[in-house]
Copies of this chain bind each other. A is one copy, B any other.
C-alpha cells in the first residue's frame, strides 16, 4: 500500500498567539495515525484568505489528505471559505438545508439568527456539506478534488462539534479512500504500581514480534504518575479489528501482572474502585494526611459516588489525627506521623467513625521540606482497614494492614502517586488481589 500523507491545518489567532495549545490537531492526528495514515504536517495559520490558501497549497504538495479546523464562523473577516474555493478552483453556493438548520437552532433559543450567520451556509460548489448537529457552522468535504490537489475536509473549531462530525461524516470515507477501507481502533491500558522499565522487560518479546506489523501497534505513554500501554489494531472490518484488538490486549495482559492493569481508555482508577465497591455493596471512607483530600476529591469527581463514598477526613495536623481519627498521642510520639502505626490507627479510626466497610489512610512526606535520612521526602505509609465480608455490620471482624512506598519526585507527583496507590489498595482488596505490589 502506498503511504498516505496527511496534513492538519488549524486556523485562528488564539493558537498562533499561544493562548491555547492546538488540541484539535492532536486529536485528529491520533485518530488518523491509528488508521495507518502518516500525519506528516501540522500547520497553524491565521484565519485570513491569503494565509489559508498558502497553507493549503503547501500541504497539498506533500499530502493526499488535508483536514482543516476552524475559520467557519460568521464574522465578516472570516474569508476561509472563499480561500478554500480559490485553492480548489471553485466558488461558493448557499446550502438551503444548512440555513434551515441554523434557523431552527436559533428558534429553539427563541430568537432569529443574525443575518451574519447566513455566510455560514456558503459551501464550495461540488463539496459535500457536513451538517452540524452539535453547533451552528456546517463543515464540508471536497471528495472529488481537481487533479493534483488533496482530498480536503473543513470542520468547525470547537472540539465538541468537530469530533462527532469527524466520526459521523469523515472517518469511514477516509478509511475507504486512503486506508484500503482499514479503520483503526486505539485502546489504552492503564497501569498502577509498575514502572515503565519493568513493563518494557515483560513486553520485550511482544514488541519484537510486532515489529513493523501494519495491523498492530504497541507503545508506552507515561504521565500523571503512571504508565499507560497504548494498543492499536487495524483491519478491513469492524469485527475483525475488534477481534484483533482483543487478542493483542489479551496477550499484553498475560505478560503484565494482571493486577497492575486497572482499566482501559476513559476508565479512571477512582471509577473502577467505586464500581467494584458498589457491586459488592461495600462502603468506603478515606483518611488523608499528605494527599490532603485528593483521594476524596477524585472519588467524588464521579457522579453517583455518594452511594459508596461515605466520608473523608483531611487530618493534616497531628491534633486533627488525634481528635478526629482517634490516633493515640503516644503513637505519634513514639513512631511519628509518617509511620505504619499512625497509618493503621488513621484507617481504623476512619472505619469506626464512618461505619464504612473499608477505610484507607495515607500519611507521608510530600516535600519539598520535612524529609530526614530515615524518612525521606517521598516516603508514604498507607493503612487499609476493613470488615470481613462474611460478617457485615459493625460487629464484623475488623482487619488492618499497612503498606509503604517511596516515590522520589516533586510534591505534586508524590501526592498524585500516593493517591493512586491508596485507591489501588481498595481495588485490590475489593477483587481479592494480593495487596502488596509485585516486585518488578
**A interface, CB within 8 angstroms of B:** 10, 15-23, 25-33, 39-46, 51, 54-55, 58, 62, 219, 221, 230, 286, 288, 290-297, 299-301, 303-306, 309-317, 319-320, 323-324, 353-355, 366-369, 411-412, 415
Contact = CB atoms under 8 A, between A and B. Distances in A.
Nearest to A324: B311
A32 B311 CA distance: 49
Contacts of A46: 40
9 contacts: A15-B29, A18-B29, A292-B312, A293-B300, A301-B415, A303-B369, A309-B314, A310-B319, A312-B314
B301 A292 contact: yes
A162 B25 CA distance: 22
B303 A312 contact: no
A301 B297 CA distance: 13
Contact of A21 (B23, B311, B319): B23
A29 B16 contact: yes
How many monomers of this protein are in the complex?
2
B30 A17 contact: yes
Given A44-B42, A51-B40, A294-B297, A26 B20 contact: yes
A284 to B, nearest CB: 10
A413 to B, nearest CB: 12
Contacts of A32: 18
Among A16, A22, A306: residue with most chain B CB under 10 A: A16
A392 B54 CA distance: 70
Given A15-B26, A17-B29, A41-B45, 10 more contacts: A10-B42, A16-B29, A21-B23, A41-B44, A292-B297, A292-B300, A301-B415, A303-B366, A310-B319, A313-B324
A291 B312 CA distance: 12
Nearest to A28: B18
A40 B18 contact: no
B314 A311 contact: yes
Contacts of A10: 42
A289 B20 CA distance: 33
Please list the 10 inter-chain residue pairs (A to B) with the smallest Cβ-Cβ separation, ordered nearest first: A292-B300, A18-B30, A293-B296, A312-B314, A18-B29, A293-B293, A311-B320, A293-B297, A42-B44, A21-B21
B303 A310 contact: no
